[in-house]
Amino acid sequence: NVCGEVYKVDEQMLASLDILEDHPSFYQRDIEHVRLMNSTEEENIFKCWIYFLNKFKPEMLSLPHHKNYSSTGDHGLQYLERYQRNSCYDFKQEVHL
Catalytic residue among 5, 11, 21, 32: 21
Neighbours of 20 (CB within 10 A): 11
> Is 21 part of the annotated catalytic residue set?
yes
The phi, psi pair for 21, rounded to 5°, reads: -90, 0
Measured distance CA(97)–CA(86) in Å, rounded = 22
Measured distance CA(15)–CA(38) in Å, rounded = 30
Which residues are tagged catalytic? Answer: 21
